[in-house]
Structure 1
Amino acid sequence: MDVTVASGIEVASLHTVLSALADPVRLEMVRRLHREQGPVACADLYDGVTKATASHHFKVLREAGITCREDVGAHTRQLLRVDAVERAYPGLLDSVISAAEREAAAPPAPATE
């Protein structure tokens, strides 16, 4: 089995990392990666977007240094670079993921007229 991990980039600037995490689709991808704590098949990380759109989001996360890609034969999996992000911005990933988890668990706000 041929495994290639593409993770040679450093974590990007704080602005770039926060911009990558600001998108709801990418934030959900990061939440799912964090929950699994290991490599995850790309298709298991998104709902409601096309494969092309998901590929774009994976690229943004990878270029920010938040994730890396693991190629296993014809399959690609994503990995969250927890240690690298933690070294660059201590506590950031845990804080953002915790806030996203709280928002996801909160009941929807009542509709106003």
Structure 2
Amino acid sequence: MRTFEHPDPERITIDGVLSALADPIRRRIVRQLVQGPSVQTCSQFELPIGKSAQTYHFRVLREAGVIEQRYQGTAIMNSLRMEVLRTRLPGLIDAVLASERATTSATELPADKAL
């Protein structure tokens, strides 16, 4: 069975996470994981970029420890590693998401979604 490699929690760094979240496409992926189902296939993301660029952005997030990816049949399932991030880098992901909420229209990120 094919699997993805993910960094162990102790290998997740503030520099790696901030670098991964510096890109608006990657923040959009994270926002969608927060506001939608907690596990989503790559095809559920409507991104304004090609498939190869999407693959790149998901890989950057995975290698930084922000998301977890696993195969389910032929689909790649994506989930946010929220608890790992909150434990490893307290307050960081919540601050990034709060900032996104403040600068993104209410239609893109509902205020009732827990961060």
Match of 1:110 in 2: none
**Taking every aligned residue pair, what percent have the same amino acid on both sides?**
30
Counterpart of 2:8? 10
Using the TM superposition, name which of 32-41 and 72-81 deviates more: 32-41
In the comparison of the two structures, how many residue pairs are matched?
104
- Work out which of the two has the higher radius of gyration on C-alpha atoms and give 1 or 2: 1
CA RMSD, Structure 1 to Structure 2 (Å): 2.0
Distance 1:30 1:50, change over 3 A: same
* Residue number in structure 2 paired with 1:109: none
Structure 1, unpaired ranges of 5+? 107-113
Is the alpha carbon distance of 1:61 and 1:52 closer, same or farther for their aligned partners in structure 2, counting shifts above 3 Å? same
1:64-106 deviations in whole A, cap 9, x for unaligned?
0000102110111111000111111111111101111211128
Q: Secondary structure at the match of 1:105?
A: coil
- What letter matches 1:10 in structure 2? D
- Does the 8 Å contact 1:68/1:81 carry over to 2? yes
Judge conservation of contact 2:21–2:27 (CA < 8 Å) in 1.
yes
Give the aligned partner of residue 35 of structure 1.
35
The ranges of structure 1 where at least 4 consecutive aligned residues each deviate by more than 3 angstroms after the TM superposition are 4-8
